Amino acid sequence: MDLSPFGVRATAGSLRAERGVVLAHAWTEEGVVAGPAANGAQVMHLSVALCVLNDTYREAERLGVRVDGIVVEADGGFDEEWRSTGVTYAVTLESPASEADLARLAAVVDEVAEIPRALRGGVPVGRFGR
């Protein structure tokens, strides 16, 4: 996936990047390397990538699918008024699992990943306080 200036990557395990922001991670000892995270658009996309990464590990464990490494890329655009035109993501896995098991894992994660689900449902945003 060719990333725009708003695109991000989250990596872990055997596919963990050497550079980026290192985040503690429940599923791997060495943590996740993510980035870039230099502006709000990238952080929004990174929330999708991290959610998909975490849920891939969680659902893989539940389904009995071994995941050795993962890269999740997320990207999207904005119109002239800075409304999101959508977010897309791609997952690369290093795993000894069959293609059928990996396809089943991807389908489950796409269905259950919380941040993509929240964004798909529409996210009202408002200011609070003064």
pLDDT of residue 81: 95
Beta bridge partners of residue 70, listed in sequence order? 12, 93
Show me where the domains of the chain are located. Answer: 8-120
* Domain 8-120: assigned CATH number: 3.30.300.20
* The three-state (H, E, C) secondary structure of 79-99, written as one string: CCCCCEEEEEEEEEEECCCCH
Q: d(Cα 89, Cα 64) in Å, to the nearest integer? A: 23
Residue range 15-69, pLDDT digits in tens: 999 999 999 999 899 999 999 999 999 999 999 999 999 999 999 999 999 999 9
